[in-house]
Amino acid sequence: MNYPNGQKRRPLQRVNREMKNQKYSNRGMTLEEDINTTNEYYLAHNLAVIHKKPTPVQVVRVHYPQRSAAVITEAYYKQASTTDYNGLYRGKYIDFEAKETKNKTRFPLANIHEHQIAHMEQVASHGGISFIIIRFSSHDETYLFETAKLLPLWFDQFKKGKKSIAYETIRDEGYLIPLKFQARVDYLSVIDKLYFTK
């Protein structure tokens, strides 16, 4: 049997098998896309105002193939970016970095830059809410890991410590972020428990 447009109908068993093999929470979306979708939901429902920070770029060379079209052919980052996201939630400043890894057993500290650590440390010292969101794509799990727990591990690596954080450490000391339909990475539910239940 074919559809009216001439395409052949796939057998139902094959469709069910394909759907079973496809995990709901990871259908090609990256962590950044999931967080952006979540932030749009938060904004639309007046829950929080959190945005991705633009990276400052210096345009050096532009090519004009047509009068109405411009193509940037050379550009450089003006300065090192701090963290990925910032904004306000319930009167508190929020600032965080988002990282995704395919590594099953550990999160490499090389994924975080020194200037980002310095920025997160400053935010936390001024009373802001600062953290990193880490997704282990192989486990299909996303965690919120507070700056206060990240800093000792970061500085330890320079004293002959480990150059990565074990998955078990993040699982045990971090907070699993629930994956939902609209608020894909509902990190505010974790922040509520950590900062607003007292």
Q: Which pLDDT tens digit goes with each residue over 115-153?
A: 999 999 999 999 999 999 999 999 999 999 999 999 999
Chain CA centroid to CA 127, Å: 22
SS3 percent helix, strand, coil of the chain, rounded to 5, is 35, 30, 35
Rounded to two decimals, the pTM is: 0.76
Q: What domains can be seen in the chain, in order of their start residue?
A: 25-195 (3.40.1350.10)
Q: CA 188 to CA 89: how far, in whole Å?
A: 8
Helix (H) or strand (E) holding 66: strand 57-66
Q: What is the pLDDT of residues 56-115, one digit of tens each?
A: 666 777 778 777 777 777 766 655 667 889 999 999 999 999 999 999 999 999 999 999
